[in-house]
Amino acid sequence: MLKRLHEDRPAATVTIEFEGEKLKVLAGETVVAAVMAAGAAFVRTSAVSGAHRAPYCQMGVCFECLMEIDGVPNRQACMIPVRDGMVVKRQYGAMELDYE
Binding positions for another protein, rule: CB under 8 A: 47-48, 63, 66, 74, 93-99
Closest distance between another protein and the C-beta of residue 21, in Å?
Answer: 26
Torsion, Cα of 13, 29, 22, 2 (10° steps)? -110
User: Burial level of 53, CB count in 10 A (0-12/13-18/19+)?
Assistant: buried
CB 20 within 8 A of CB 46: no
- What is the smallest separation between the CB atom of 93 and another protein, expressed in angstroms? 8
For residue 100, the minimal CB distance to another protein (Å) is 8
* Cβ nearer to another protein, comparing 15 with 42: 42
